[in-house]
Amino acid sequence: MSFTEELRRGADPIYQAIFKHPFVRGIAEGTLDKEQLIHYVKQDFEYLNAYMRIYGIAISKCENREHIQMFNEQIAFILNSEIHPHQNFCDRAGVTYEELQGYPLAPSAHHYIQHMLTSAYEGTLEDILAALLPCPWTYAEIGERLLEEVKPGPDHPFYEWMQFYGSRGAGVTDKMRVLLDEWAGSLSESRKLKLKEQYDSSCRLEYMFWDMAYKLEEWPV
Ligand SMILES: Cc1ncc(CN)c(N)n1
């Protein structure tokens, strides 16, 4: 079993909890409230901004152009393509995308971003990949499962969202996995354990991000 297969297997209980989360079920059933969609997009716009900055930090640690190009392509993907699922939620909520931009982070989004930033500033490229990987991996699996289960037509309120994440194949997930498996091959068991902690924390924070959007989480004071 490859290192990233081990990571995925170890985090399976978290993946299963994500698949059952009421926000994810609400996408499948088309039952999310306007406020929940708006809260998600406000937070995810900032999350993806941070994610691109972390790619930038990763680029600063790359030793060759092939790896720089990979991270660069992923920044372009977020800027040019990952606006579509946000637009789907905005259309359903009856708001413009622009009016949901520039809001402060809610606690769980803040925690997730700080976790990735710590990996990026204190760690190596392996640490960064381990912390970043659950983002594309969980969404690809959610999208594939929802397409398979719901078989949505264009009249489903979240048709574009499901198509976007469910029909891209493994894409960026596979690219990151190939690199992480290659690099992990020469690491000690204790370093691999540290990477597993990075990965598991991001999986848990993916769950918390959905929960934050569903419950309209804000700072209590
Ligand atoms: C929190 C989060 N995680 C993952 C993704 C999918 N790139 C996202 N848009 N937002």
Give pLDDT tens digits for 19-61.
999 999 999 999 999 999 999 999 999 999 999 999 999 999 9
Q: What is the pLDDT of residue 68?
A: 96
Q: Which residues line ligand 1 (CB under 6 A)?
A: 44, 47-48, 135-136, 139, 206, 209
Q: What is the pLDDT of residue 171?
A: 86
114: helix, coil or strand?
Answer: helix
Q: Domain tally for the chain?
A: 1
- Domain-located, residue 104: yes
Residue in 19, 30, 52 with CA at minimum distance from that of residue 161: 30
- Domain-located, residue 66: yes
Q: What's the rounded Cα separation, in Å, for the pair 97 and 90?
A: 6
Q: What's the rounded Cα separation, in Å, for the pair 85 and 202?
A: 21
Give the global pTM: 0.97
Which residue among 21, 206, 207 has the greatest number of ligand 1 atoms within 8 angstroms of its CB, and so is best to mutate? 206
Q: What is the pLDDT of residue 168?
A: 80
Looking at residue 199, which CATH number applies to its domain? 1.20.910.10
Domain that holds residue 207: 3-212
pLDDT band per the 50, 70, 90 thresholds, residue 64: very high
- Domain-located, residue 98: yes
- Domain-located, residue 197: yes
Residue in 169, 173, 166 with CA at minimum distance from that of residue 202: 173
- Domain-located, residue 220: no
Mean pLDDT along residues 90-106 = 98
Q: What's the rounded Cα separation, in Å, for the pair 204 and 114?
A: 14
Q: How far is residue 101 CA from its own chain's centroid?
A: 18
Q: Is the ipTM of this complex over 0.90?
A: yes
Contact 135, 51 (CB under 8 A): yes
- Domain-located, residue 217: no
Residue in 58, 49, 62 with CA at minimum distance from that of residue 112: 49
- Domain-located, residue 218: no
- Domain-located, residue 89: yes
Q: What is the pLDDT of residue 207?
A: 98
Residue 169 has pLDDT above 80, yes or no: no
